[in-house]
Structure 1
Amino acid sequence: MKISKWLIVLLGIGVVLSACTGGTRTLEDSEKDAVLAYAEPMATTLLDGLFAGDYTAFATNFDEAMRKGLDEKAFADLRQTLESRLGAFKSREVSSVLESGNYYIVVYRLRFEKDDAVTMRLVLTKAEPHLVSGLWFDSPELRKR
């Protein structure tokens, strides 16, 4: 039941984003590099905070909706779910960078002790200051009941 609360919040944010955006396109070369120049440090801060149990660091770059939707309780639930189902975090790599309406979406492949095919989608506002406005984790292991 813990996973349901934060999953519903994040899916709700996703529905809003989908309704507000047009098509999605994959960024390449200099466009991709420009987004990653600020997205990568944000992803590092977010993941370091998550695995250290530090909500303040985790949520440093969240927009207001994300702060409300993913509060400290939901953060603790997310952290517990990831640790219990996936084990220790090992690494990440960028899979793709997308542009969709007023957002950039950086898709990462995360490797954990128990699952090396976890997808993390980090949604960032295009407008400065770039802020995290969506976050999803997905894998077959996480979808198991």
Structure 2
Amino acid sequence: MKTLVGYIAGLLFGLGLTISGMTDPARVLGFLDIAGAWDPTLMFVLGGAVITNFIGYRLVLRRPHPFFGECFQLPTRQDLDIRLIGGASLFGIGWGLSGYCPGPAFASIIGLSAPLFAMLVTMVMGWFMARAITPKTA
């Protein structure tokens, strides 16, 4: 049941990205073009997501445990390290250059183009490189 709910959540996320137009990299690049033909669509989509998440977390965390789990698995680290800052920087640079972030890229895979293919290949390469350089812990 947990896996099914995960698939449904992913489908809903992809549908939301498609309906909002966030699978079109031109929208993202238009948002970043503040000196040209600025497109504020991304700001409204992100604002809606932040508000929904803010309210949702407060409602869900009132429960003693998740519907399909024993306990909530929330992050506990609060420090900033070089791996977090470096990863966030690479993510932002890649998003700004391609107009895709991972969610919209996977939601757009049905209309695979050369730029999307290049972004997906480099993203997967980044995952493998990160695993290769990350020290193994016991």
TM-score interval, smaller chain: under 0.3
Greater share of residues in helix: 2
Greater share of residues in strand: 1
- TM, length-normalised to structure 2: 0.28
